[in-house]
Structure 1
Amino acid sequence: MMTVTKKEETYPELWLESQSENLGIFFDIAINECGYSPKKITDYFIKSKMADLMSKGHPRFSAGCNGEELLMLCLDTNNVNSLNIEEMDGVQTSKEYWAGYMLAIYQWESGRNFVDILKAVPLSKIIEAYTPLHESSEEKFYDVMEHWISDVKGA
């Protein structure tokens, strides 16, 4: 069960599924097809300002682009060639897709900014949690993220 009262809504819940899928695709393609490390693509995501804008529900990034387009915009903003990105079909099952998908749900539920979340809990840690958490509920994932963030704040 989620233990924190949701902060002020940052964007309509109607956009949550789209944003979750798109962020999953974004990280899946960036890591598995383009070969970026989780740290490098997180750095690009933050530096591009996309992480902050998506946290605030900017319509272009939260509902106006698909995952591939988000990645191309992110890489272009960072002056990185994005010509080799291809559109993905269907729901993905990679650890990286799951991490992006769950990260978006956690961000919306917690009201925290993606930048703050990813500075406290590296994407690589979320990806590594796939095996024990991918069949768990969203609430369990939320509780684990809250624990990890509280560990960082307490340090």
Structure 2
Amino acid sequence: MRVEYEFIHLEDSDLYRDDAAHALAAVFDLGVNVAGLSGQYVADLFIVSGLAVQFERCNPVYVAGKSGAELLRHMDSEIETLLDDEVPYRLSRTSDYWVGWNVAWYQLSSGRTYKSIFEVLPYDRIKSMYYPLHEADERKFIGVCESVMAQASVASNLKRIRVAAGFSQAQLSEASGVGLRSIQMYEQRQKDINKAQGSTLLRLARALHCSMEDVMEL
């Protein structure tokens, strides 16, 4: 899903792009390394708090007008207890800072919502790209993300066969004995079904009345 706000054109500005990238980078860096939260939890808060939409709208009140600590407190008042009143300026550029910086670049470049990005690319998966991409140009990261998003837009074999068989994910889980979360991750390609145990593939295939090869991504 892509979002467009025709009344806003700040996304074309290099200054706005860098402000957005620095702001989101500070949110993840402070959230993980100072407040002690998980990266995915911070990403989820960023989305459900509505702050992600403000970034997508290029709202300068949030992107350029608040510090990383202020943005975290805006996302959840309980974070107040996890941050000192005076959060020192952090000189180091952690892998969490890198995640925020590059995700902001990618969102502005692609026009995709943050929600759609993190649905396909969970925080830990993005962070796993730090090596070797941390020394590469942001455009390299954008290219990798676009490739992953494009692949995710094509239904996996497991999903295609499941839908054709008339099963919901929960029904397939019950019929096969394979965990619901595992089925979801296989269909979203967050787990490689080609590396699944033979017993898992066999149970899925029997429930769907197909061969094990049919559900694999060959």
Please say whether Structure 1 and Structure 2 have the same fold, judged by a TM-score greater than 0.5. Answer: yes
Indicate yes or no: 2:10 matched with 1:11.
yes
CA-CA distance at 1:36 after TM superposition: 1.3
**Could you say which structure has the larger radius of gyration?**
2
CA-CA distance at 1:140 after TM superposition: 0.7
Instruction: Summarize the Cα distance change of 1:48–1:117 in structure 2 as closer, same or farther, 3 Å threshold.
Output: same
Partner of 1:62: 63
Partner of 2:72: 71
CA deviation digits over 1:42-97, x for unaligned, max 9?
Answer: 11111101011211112221221121111111122xxx241332424254311000
Q: Which runs of 4+ in 1 moved over 4 A?
A: 7-10
Distance in 2 (CA, whole Å) between partners of 1:10 and 1:122 is 28
Percent identity, aligned pairs only?
Answer: 29
Distance in 2 (CA, whole Å) between partners of 1:16 and 1:88 is 24
Of structures 1 and 2, the one with the larger relative CO (CA 8 A, separation 6+) is 1
Distance in 2 (CA, whole Å) between partners of 1:131 and 1:83 is 33
Asked whether the 8 Å contact 1:107–1:113 carries over to 2, the reply is: yes
Q: TM-score, normalised by structure 1?
A: 0.85
Partner of 2:151: 151
Distance in 1 (CA, whole Å) between partners of 2:101 and 2:28 is 9
Distance in 2 (CA, whole Å) between partners of 1:38 and 1:152 is 22
Instruction: Summarize the Cα distance change of 1:127–1:52 in structure 2 as closer, same or farther, 3 Å threshold.
Output: same
Distance in 2 (CA, whole Å) between partners of 1:92 and 1:20 is 16
Partner of 2:53: 52
Aligned residue type for 2:70:
E
Asked whether the 8 Å contact 1:10–1:56 carries over to 2, the reply is: no
The 3-state SS of whatever aligns with 1:19 is helix
Describe how 1:5-154 pairs up with structure 2 within 5 A. Answer: 11-12=10-11, 13=13, 14-76=15-77, 80-86=78-84, 87-154=87-154
